[in-house]
Amino acid sequence: MTKKQLTERLEKKCDQMYGCKLSEANDRQLYKVLCTVTREELEDDNRNFSKKVRDNEQKQVYYLSMEFLVGTSLYNNLFNLGLLDDAKKILEDLGTSLDNLTAIDPDAGLGNGGLGRLASCYMDAATSMNVPMTGFSIRYEFGIFKQKIIDGWQVEQPDNWLTDGGVWLNTRQEDAVEIKFGGECHEWMDNGQFRVANSNYESVIAIPHDLYISGYNTKSVNKLVLWSASKPQAFDMNAFSRGDYMRALEDNTMAEVISKVLYPADNHINGKKLRLRQQYFFVSASLQTIISDHLKKYHTLSNLADKVAIHINDTHPALCVPELMRLLMDEHGMGWDEAWDICSRTLAYTNHTVMSEALEHWNISLFREQLPRCYSICEEINRRLMEKLAVIYPNDPGKWNYMAVIANGDVNMPNLCLACCHKVNGVSALHTDIIKDTLFHDYYNINHDQFTSVTNGISYRRWLAQANPELTAYIKELIGDGFMKDADELEKLLKFKGDETVLAKLNEIKKDNKVRLGKYIAKANGINVDPESIFDVQIKRLHEYKRQLLNVLHVLKLDNEIKANANADWTPKRFVFGAKASAGYAIAKQTISLIHAVSKFISNDPAVRDIIKVVFIENYSVSLAELIIPAADISEQISNAGKEASGTSNMKLMMNGAVTLGTLDGANVEIRNLVGDENMFLFGLTTEQVNDLWRQGYDPRTFITPDIQKVLNMLTSGVLGQTYPDILDSLLTGRFGPADRFMTIADFKSYYDTHMVIDKTYADRMKFADMSLVNIAKSGFFSADRAVKEYVDRIWEIKKY
């Protein structure tokens, strides 16, 4: 589209929508007009792309995920369509700016953190590579809450993203499908033919809303289908007596409630009925649509596995297993064996965690009450599984129980996926080893080929090219723009290792990005951060295993040391945090408060406040990540080894030239293999050492030295203005489970010492810039293009695209 064509289309759309000229429209109207024109362009491209895929009988991927952390769309779409410069000029001529409009574009927060953002990165990458991939999720009315900090404490506010974000959605009322909950399921044999019928079920209608996903420099456009729930047309509110209405509200059984809000918890399950209903709702709606689209084209389901790959993103859509079985058998007349074979060859599952509190299982009576037919299918899956295990692992009821789909009063969702899916993958090399060696070892023993590893990747055109335009422009100057399609070309930067002109320029770019972030911090936090100081960044969900606590406790020790050695040569450092805590996660919320208390404590102390500062950036989100990441010198990836499945902020930060301060956990291990020990700052116990230490009987007290004791005392002495007895207890007592469950104290010394190494290294700015350069150059491996290609080749088995 030329600039002239774009102007004409905008003019016409403005007239249609608001009956006025572009020159008379206000920013919000211009925003809606520009988004609508962009969306319609994508809609056309999507139609053409789908037709081509259908005509060529290509295999398609359906990616089911309860979360897609989309972020903003306007800038990304204009960037991908190559319309950025024209749009900027047109808006400037109208006396406004693209910045004014992108400021209105909401950050679609339909996810909690890493898992949701990964799903969005994969949609972006697949589209850029012309891979036909459709995402399915829920059109939550409210995405991840907005975080406000009041007196240092997190307060959650609703995120009403649809008010402005709705402009991106194309609603297809005519393609609504019916979802059935509860009631009774009757099964009987009719002349040797198995029959099943449902009665007294509750109907919910699922309405699809398409969000188009553009790719970089391609006409291919995919879509993310988001389902909203509503009551059936026939539903009569008057017939709902007042009492029933209230009970339904309290029960959360009303249809509309299903798509009301994203559960704001990550790495922790809660077993609530509404969550199960959300899962079944979007799984059933998506599978029904996949099947009916397939039938329209092929008029048979026998080739489903050859033409369709369905991906289960963590166990949240694991109901795909019984629901696809149900649809194939009950609705399409297939026998068990054929249906099972198709399910198994169609479905694949990614595991994102090894922590027991995040492994999903559902109480049998809740499951059976809501999904009676799926339950009976799970029973049969389990019965057949037990028969098989009795042969493979004779006389080992412990194993049978551990591997069962139904055991201990629960339906076990990871086991359900393992029992069926042809592929299961971990999200980093280390994580995959852990699931093969421990968590899913007994399944791995049966079939090695079922397991594979795909290290996560990021959509680097968003995280580098869009978020860091200055660095991107300079990279293009140095190595050309081939890296925009092939991230491995970033390695060409290695030839500038030691080149002082290049390193000085990298330092200058980093400083500009720090100034940009500094302006935001000055406004948001009222804190002035000196861009000459080290920007040390930890941005991720707040979780004990991620150990934000280790970071902030180390700051307290640093404060003590600076005061004790006022004349030493301290390196100025700014500790930047961004983190949302799950609403019900008390100790996480206390940690946020502690970070604020430490921030204040330091700001009030003239002896240290020019050397170090702590900044907590409120409401960490995709948009804020785009601002913070380009400004980071140090990337804090300090989880207790063996706990972070992969991490993805580590990749984004590395690609923007931050040097990792990390444990050998998740994808940090692979960062180390790429850049070498000399280009990162490693510390702490390894996974093996962590396991050994637990076996020996870990007692944090044996690691407490006087300096650590002094820091711990500050938690309860009142010097911080508040006391944090629960945090202290979590470290030292058994009050919240094992004392110091994530070995903060065991790793404390190593962590502090490594910080001192960083400070010394940073004093040599050329040396530090050289490390930064190597990190950028080696980061191409973490492109989501590479990751998606691995899924395409090894899991989805798509031959042509």
Active site residues per annotation: 352, 540-541, 546, 648, 652
- 664 SS3 class: coil
Strand, coil or helix: what is 661? strand
Give the tokens for residue 385.
């599984």
Closer residue to ligand 26Q, CB minimum distance, 25 or 435 = 435
Nearest of 358, 351, 179, 198 to residue 280 by alpha carbon: 179
* Position 593 contacts ligand 26Q (CB under 6 A): no
Minimal distance in Å, beta carbon 676 to ligand 26Q? 23
CA distances (Å), origin 788, targets 345, 483, 801: 19, 17, 12
Q: Does 426 bind ligand 26Q (CB under 6 A)?
A: no
- Asked if residue 270 binds ligand 26Q (CB under 6 A), the reply is yes
Closer residue to ligand 26Q (CB): 269 or 471: 269
**What SS3 state is found at 644?**
coil
Q: Would you say 261 or 608 has its CB closer to ligand 26Q?
A: 261
Structure tokens at 337: 């064996």
Q: Does the footprint of ligand 26Q cover residue 265 (CB under 6 A)? A: yes
Structure token digits, residue 135: 């995402």
Each residue 430-469 as x (binds ligand 26Q by CB under 6 A) or -, in order, gives --------------------------x-------------
> Least distance in Å: CB of 138 to ligand 26Q?
12
Three-state DSSP state, 26: coil
CB of 141 vs ligand 26Q, minimal distance in Å: 17
Q: Per the structure block, which two tokens stand in for 230?
A: 């509503």
Smallest separation, CB 666 to ligand 26Q (Å): 5
Q: Rounded to the nearest whole angstrom, what is the least distance from the CB of residue 724 to ligand 26Q in the complex?
A: 25
Region near ligand 26Q per CB under 6 A, out of 13-21, 260-268, 289-297, 476-484: 260-268
Least Cα distance to 562 among 554, 570, 551 occurs for: 570
Alpha helix stretches (DSSP H) within 371-412:
372-392, 397-403
Is 64 an interacting residue with respect to ligand 26Q (CB under 6 A)?
Answer: no
- Residue 48: both structure tokens together: 């053409």
Segment interacting with ligand 26Q, rule: CB under 6 A, options 50-58, 199-207, 339-347, 644-652:
644-652
Q: Which is nearer to ligand 26Q, 36 or 650 (CB)?
A: 650
Spell out the residues 6+ positions from residue 619 whose beta carbon is closer than 8 angstroms to its own.
146, 147, 148, 580
- When asked if residue 143 is in the footprint of ligand 26Q (CB under 6 A), the reply is no
Alpha carbons within 13 angstroms on the beta-carbon side of residue 45 total 25
Tell the smallest beta-carbon distance from residue 355 to ligand 26Q (Å). 8
End-to-end CA, the chain: 25
| DSSP notation for 250-315 | HHT-SGGGGGTB----SS-----HHHHHHHHHHHHHHHHHHHHHHHHHHS-STTHHHHEEEEEESS
Of positions 666, 684, 700, 780, contacts ligand 26Q by CB under 6 A: 666
**What separation in angstroms does the CA of 402 have from each of 45, 270, 417, 441?**
48, 21, 14, 11
Q: Any contact of residue 645 with ligand 26Q (CB under 6 A)?
A: yes
Q: Is residue 623 close enough to count as binding ligand 26Q by CB under 6 A?
A: no
The distance of closest approach from Cβ of residue 581 to ligand 26Q in the complex, given in angstroms and rounded to an integer, is 14
Which pair of tokens denotes residue 93? 């001529």
Q: Which stretch binds ligand 26Q (CB under 6 A): 205-213, 262-270, 432-440, 627-635?
A: 262-270
Q: Where does residue 26 rank: exposed (0-12), middle (13-18), buried (19+ CB within 10 A)?
A: exposed
Which residues lie closer than 8 Å to 212 by C-beta, 6 or more apart?
A: 39, 42, 43, 45, 46, 77, 168, 170, 221, 222, 223, 224
Number of residues that bind ligand 26Q (CB under 6 A): 24
> In angstroms, what is the minimal distance from the CB of 269 to ligand 26Q?
4
Binding status of residue 647 toward ligand 26Q by CB under 6 A = yes
Pick 284 or 637: Cβ nearer ligand 26Q: 637
Minimum separation from the CB atom of position 313 to ligand 26Q (A): 9
Residue number, 7 or 154, with CB nearest to ligand 26Q:
154
Among 205, 269, 324, 771, binds ligand 26Q (CB under 6 A): 269
**What distance in Å separates the CA atoms of residue 635 and residue 637, rounded to the nearest whole number?**
6
By CB under 6 A, which span of 100-108, 184-192, 245-253, 268-276 interacts with ligand 26Q? 268-276
User: Distance (Å, rounded) from C-alpha 519 to C-alpha 510?
Assistant: 14
Asked if residue 547 binds ligand 26Q (CB under 6 A), the reply is no
Nearer to ligand 26Q, 345 or 352 (CB): 352
372 or 666, CB closer to ligand 26Q? 666
Closest distance between ligand 26Q and the C-beta of residue 759, in Å? 28
User: By CB under 6 A, is residue 584 in contact with ligand 26Q?
Assistant: no
| Amino acid in position 591 | T
Could you say whether residue 267 binds ligand 26Q (CB under 6 A)? yes
What residues between 174 and 213 interact with ligand 26Q by CB under 6 A? Answer: none
**Token duo for residue 772:** 């930064």
Span from 107-115, 335-343, 560-568, 595-603 in contact with ligand 26Q (CB under 6 A): 107-115
Give the three-state DSSP class for 207: strand
Stretch that binds ligand 26Q, among 17-25, 100-108, 641-649, 725-733 (CB under 6 A): 641-649
Q: What track of x and - describes contact with ligand 26Q for positions 354 through 393 (by CB under 6 A)?
A: ----x-x---------------------------------
Quote the CA–CA distance of 344 and 683 in Å, as a whole number: 42
Among 33, 118, 308, 324, binds ligand 26Q (CB under 6 A): 118
With CA atoms as reference, report the closest residue to 592 among 634, 548, 556: 548
* CB closer to ligand 26Q, 177 vs 265: 265
Q: Which of residues 272-291 bind ligand 26Q (CB under 6 A)?
A: 275
| Three-class HEC string of 697-759 | CCCHHHHCCHHHHHHHHHHHHCCCCCCCHHHHHHHHCCECECCCCCCHHHHHHHHHHHHHHHH
Could you tell me which stretch among 261-269, 373-381, 611-619, 793-801 binds ligand 26Q (CB under 6 A)?
Answer: 261-269
Determine which residue in the list 113, 135, 426, 780 makes contact with ligand 26Q, applying CB under 6 A.
113
Question: Which member of 112, 432, 621, 668 binds ligand 26Q (CB under 6 A)?
Answer: 112
Q: Of the ranges 34-42, 68-76, 258-266, 623-631, which one interacts with ligand 26Q (CB under 6 A)?
A: 258-266
Q: Are 254 and 155 in contact (CB under 8 A)?
A: no
Could you tell me the smallest distance in angstroms from the CB atom of residue 670 to ligand 26Q? 12
Residue 246 one-letter amino acid: M
648 binds ligand 26Q (CB under 6 A): yes
Query: Any contact of residue 590 with ligand 26Q (CB under 6 A)?
Result: no
Alpha-carbon distance of 539 to 652, in angstroms, equals 11
Backbone CA torsion sign across 689, 690, 696, 698:
positive
User: Are the C-beta atoms of residues 179 and 206 closer than 8 Å to each other?
Assistant: yes
Residue from the set 134, 548, 646, 660 that interacts with ligand 26Q by CB under 6 A:
646
Candidates 160-168, 259-267, 367-375, 531-539: pick the segment binding ligand 26Q (CB under 6 A): 259-267
Q: Which is nearer to ligand 26Q, 317 or 700 (CB)?
A: 317
- Based on the number of CB atoms within 10 Å of its own CB, is 340 exposed (0-12), middle (13-18) or buried (19 or more)? buried
Coil, helix or strand at residue 465? helix
Applying CB under 6 A, which residues contact ligand 26Q? 112-115, 118, 263, 265-267, 269-270, 275, 352-353, 358, 360, 427, 456, 644-648, 666
